[in-house]
Amino acid sequence: YLALAGYYKHLTDFVDPNNNTSYDFSSLLPALTPAQQAQVIASGQQIGPVKIPDNTGDGYVAGVEATASLPFAVLTEALDGFGIFASGTWTTSDVRYGSNPTQALTLPGLSKWVATGTAYFEKYGFQARMTYRYRSSFLAEIAGLSANPEFRTGAAEGVLDAQLGYEFQDGPLKGLAILAQVKNLTDEPFVTYDLGDRRLVRDYQRYGRDYYLGVTYKF
């Protein structure tokens, strides 16, 4: 099959991490000396600005997604059990904070292009899969000094996963299945950089490969 879908989502109450709001500090006056309290009251400065996250942002997300699935058995019986599955997404977004409505940002963590491809074989109890996922660069939101959010560019990445399994079909081991998996086979790093310049690297983190071995039994 081949499928094509479009989508649009209007965002409201988006969190603005840099929002400034007025706050009444009158409850803190008892911590001051009487002379200081009188000075603050006389100046009428009990109300002051506070920087605090607030839901003052809005925006939208829109895009197109295409998916395709092809079991090779529809082409020839000699390839029965083999097949591919693929999907691709193009997305655009626009987010504007209440504290700075003239500056447009892409939705943090959202890549413009995302594609996934899987090649597989499933027959006679065997199953083997290779999956590759690609995402283009994106706006990364990172916890900075004092846990304040910082925005940087997250580098494009491609991650390769693989799995191999077998389920016994008959005999005394019927119902026993073994599955081995490797995630991030190519040890793809997570990289962020400043000002859209890949030379200005801020983060370079390697998470390594993950290996899994599972055994199940059905009766």
The per-residue pLDDT for range 49-103, each reduced to its tens digit, is: 888 888 888 899 999 999 999 999 999 999 999 999 999 999 999 998 877 788 8
**CA–CA separation, 57 vs 12, rounded Å?**
7
Handedness of CA 143, 145, 149, 153 (dihedral sign): negative
How far, in Å, CA of 205 to CA of 155, rounded? 12
Q: What percent of the chain has pLDDT over 90?
A: 55
Please name the residues in contact with 183: beta carbons below 8 A apart, sequence gap of 6 or more: 159, 161, 209, 210, 212
106-147 residue pLDDT tens: 888 999 999 999 999 999 999 999 999 999 999 988 777 666
The answer, yes or no, to whether residue 157 has pLDDT greater than 90, is: yes
pTM: 0.77
